[in-house]
């Protein structure tokens, strides 16, 4: 290796290490300051806590984060399940069947990908009031599912296209109906892409902010992203507890991502195969 190459390599390592530090340190700072008393935080925002106040995390949970957490969990789980079921059905319908109008239906679904949620915000607000879903968890679930479906269908469809047709043909000759093909062949073989779609949908739904703020009025029904804003005004003076609340909200997604990232990457690699 020449001297020049060594310098390049060192520079790249330095850059990547600095970048990694820029990401990890603020997160560490957040979690660590969650253990401090207010005084400790203001006097020494950089150092480790004088005393590790675990009770900050308990207080944050009790101050509302616990409730928001459960609301988010419910909305996320139901939305992900619905997206997986309805999305995989539609993706199957759009990948395995040949009929007039199939391309048009696909175009309609995929163009849903491009629309900005803000454009629908006001009319959805009004519509949800009219159909009586406003200020219920279902207001979020229904709109999240509708907005997440296009991308999930797009992702799953291109994966389903890569599943060999011969399997279905022999199954059909054995007398399987289209529903049985979906259930016994497509779903089991599509597991990697279902995992990716679930993770992406879960991430988006768990973190969604605007709809959650506008479609829910009742503080007891709020999800975490909006709840945290309430918490900020409520705990204006208690930074330790506030930061603990932020840390609690960030942890589940970080853990989920680290646990499932292999599947996620694999599914994405397979799913974006051109179809």
Partner 1 sequence: MLKSSFHNARSALPFILPALLLIVLFVFLPILFNLYYSMFRWSAFERNGVFVGLDYYVKLFQDPIFYTALKNNSLYAVISLLFQVGGGLVIAAILEEKVIRRWQPLFRTVFFLPAVISISVVGLMWQLLYNPEIGLINGALKAIGQTQWMHSWLGDSKTAIYAVVAVSQWQYTGYMTMLFLIAMHKIPGELYEAAMIDGANRLRTFFHITIPQLREMILVGSMITVIGAFKVFDEVYVMTFGGPGRSTEVLGTMLYRAAFRNDEMGYASTIGTAIFVITLGLSLLQMRLAKTGQEV
Of 102, 183, 217, 220, the one binding partner 1 by CB under 8 A: 102
Of 74, 184, 256, 263, the one binding partner 1 by CB under 8 A: 256
Determine, following the binding rule CB under 8 A, whether residue 254 of this chain makes contact with partner 1: yes
Candidate ranges 16-24, 49-57, 59-67, 187-195; the one touching partner 1 (CB under 8 A): 16-24
CA distance 240 to 110: 45
CA distance 41 to 84: 44
Please say whether the beta carbons of 194 and 86 come within 8 A: no
For partner 1, the binding residues in 44-73 under the rule CB under 8 A are 45-46
CA distance 86 to 82: 6
First-to-last CA distance in the chain? 43
Nearest to 63 by CA among 238, 263, 266: 238
Determine, following the binding rule CB under 8 A, whether residue 97 of this chain makes contact with partner 1: yes
Q: How many residues bind partner 1 (CB under 8 A)?
A: 93
Of 35, 159, 160, 206, the one binding partner 1 by CB under 8 A: 206
Determine, following the binding rule CB under 8 A, whether residue 26 of this chain makes contact with partner 1: yes
CA distance 133 to 128: 5
Nearer to partner 1, 53 or 199 (CB): 199
**Site mask for partner 1 (CB under 8 A), range 150-169, x = bound:** x--x---------------x
DSSP symbol at 151? H
Longest dimension (CA), the chain: 76
Of 108, 132, 183, 220, the one binding partner 1 by CB under 8 A: 108
Determine, following the binding rule CB under 8 A, whether residue 87 of this chain makes contact with partner 1: yes
Please say whether the beta carbons of 163 and 91 come within 8 A: no
**Residue for token digits 């399987």?**
176
* Phi–psi pair at 272, nearest 5 degrees: -90, 10
For partner 1, the binding residues in 169-188 under the rule CB under 8 A are 169, 172-173, 177-178, 182
Provide the minimum distance between the beta carbon of 210 and partner 1 in the complex, in angstroms, as a whole number: 5
Determine, following the binding rule CB under 8 A, whether residue 189 of this chain makes contact with partner 1: no
- Please, which residues have CB within 8 angstroms of residue 117's CB and are 6 or more apart in sequence? 147, 210, 211
Determine, following the binding rule CB under 8 A, whether residue 20 of this chain makes contact with partner 1: yes
Determine, following the binding rule CB under 8 A, whether residue 109 of this chain makes contact with partner 1: yes
Determine, following the binding rule CB under 8 A, whether residue 2 of this chain makes contact with partner 1: no
Determine, following the binding rule CB under 8 A, whether residue 209 of this chain makes contact with partner 1: yes
- Please, which residues have CB within 8 angstroms of residue 46's CB and are 6 or more apart in sequence? 29
Provide the minimum distance between the beta carbon of 52 and partner 1 in the complex, in angstroms, as a whole number: 20
């Amino acid at each position: 290796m020449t001297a020049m190459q060594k310098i390049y390599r060192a520079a790249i390592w330095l850059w990547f290490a600095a970048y990694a530090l820029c990401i990890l340190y603020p997160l560490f700072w957040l979690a660590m300051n969650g253990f401090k008393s207010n005084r400790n935080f203001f006097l020494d925002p950089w150092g480790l806590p004088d005393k590790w106040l675990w009770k900050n995390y308990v207080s944050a949970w009790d101050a509302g984060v616990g409730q928001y957490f459960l609301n988010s969990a419910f909305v996320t789980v139901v939305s992900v399940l619905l997206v997986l079921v309805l999305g995989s059905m539609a993706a199957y319908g759009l990948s395995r069947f040949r009929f007039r109008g199939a391309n048009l239906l696909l175009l309609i679904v995929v163009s849903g990908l491009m629309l900005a949620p803000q454009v629908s915000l006001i009319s959805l607000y009004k519509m949800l009031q009219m159909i009586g879903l406003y200020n219920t968890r279902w207001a979020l679930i229904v709109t999240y599912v509708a907005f997440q479906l296009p991308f999930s269908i797009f992702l799953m469809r291109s994966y389903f296209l890569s599943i060999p047709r011969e399997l279905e043909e022999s199954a059909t000759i054995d007398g399987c109906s289209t529903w049985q093909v979906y259930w016994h062949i497509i779903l089991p073989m599509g597991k990697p892409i279902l995992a990716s779609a679930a993770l992406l949908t879960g991430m988006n739904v768990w973190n969604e902010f605007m709809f959650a703020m506008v479609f829910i009025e009742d503080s007891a029904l709020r999800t975490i992203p909006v709840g945290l804003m309430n918490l900020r005004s409520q705990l204006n003076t208690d930074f330790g507890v506030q930061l603990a609340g932020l840390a609690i909200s960030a942890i589940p997604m970080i853990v989920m991502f680290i646990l499932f990232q292999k599947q996620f990457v694999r599914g994405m690699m397979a799913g974006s195969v051109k179809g």
